[in-house]
Amino acid sequence: MTNPVAGKISRGGAAERCDGASLYGADGGRKYLNLAERKRSLDAIATLEPDKALFALTLVWTGARVSEVLALTPASFQIERGVVSFITLKRRRLSVREVPIPAALMAAINARFELQTVQLDLDASRRRLWAWHRTTAWRLMKAVMQQSGVVGRPACPRGMRHGFGVGTLQAGVPLNLVQRWLGHARISTTAIYANASGPEEQAFAARFWQEC
C-alpha cells in the first residue's frame, strides 16, 4: 500500500520503559521520535498491508495511545470535518476529544472500511475497526521502528506519541490545541514538549556560531 499522506501489549516490559512525564531518561536518553525518525517511520509504514498501515498512520497523525486507536469504530469518524473522536477515561470520567487528521488519511480509512455506508447501521457502526489485542498492535509498531532504524527509548508507540507532541509544537500549533489533541488534563504536561530543541533554535544557534 502506498502511504496516503506521506507525499504532499499489554503494559509491561518495553512499554514501561517508554513511560514518563519527561522527554528524557535519567541517563539523558531521548524518549521521542525526531523529525527524521518520523519520516523514516512513514516510509516503513508505506510498505505494510492496508489495515496495518492505516492503524499505524492513525497513531502517527493523532498522537493517540494504542488502546485509543484500537477502540475506534466507524462512528468515531466525522468524514466531512476530517475529525476522529477518541474516548478516554480521565479522573474516573469518560472524556471525548476530537483530533483532525489529514484528508488523504480520512479518505483512505473511509474507502477501506466503507465508513459512510457502515455508519448508517447502528450496530455495525459501533464495531471496532481493528479487532486486535494490544500485543498485536505493539508488535506491529515495534516492527515499524525496527525497519525504520529507530532504536532505544523512542522505539515504541509512546515514543511516537511524544514525537507528535514535539512535532506539532515545532510546527507552530498552539500549546492549548496540542493539549486537547493529546488529551492531557494539565497544560503543564503538554509543555514538556516545548523543551525539545526545534528548527528555530538551530537557526538562532547558527547565527551565534557564525559570529564567533
For residue 97, give Cα distances in angstroms to 69, 88, 100, 143, 181: 13, 8, 10, 29, 7
pLDDT of residue 119: 97
Q: For each successive 10 residues of the chain (212 residues), what is the average pLDDT? A: 45 41 84 93 97 98 96 97 89 86 98 97 97 95 96 93 93 94 93 83 81 74
pLDDT of residue 25: 86
CA-CA distance, 169 to 150, in Å (whole number)?
22
CA-CA distance, 150 to 156, in Å (whole number)?
9
pLDDT of residue 195: 85
pLDDT of residue 13: 37
- The structure's pTM equals 0.85
How is residue 29 written as a grid cell?
Answer: 536518553
pLDDT of residue 26: 85
- CA angle in degrees (0–180, nearest 5) for 168-64-80: 80
pLDDT of residue 142: 95
Helix 134-147 / helix 157-170 crossing angle, nearest 10 deg:
60
pLDDT of residue 29: 87
Q: What are the chain's domains?
A: 14-211 (1.10.443.10)
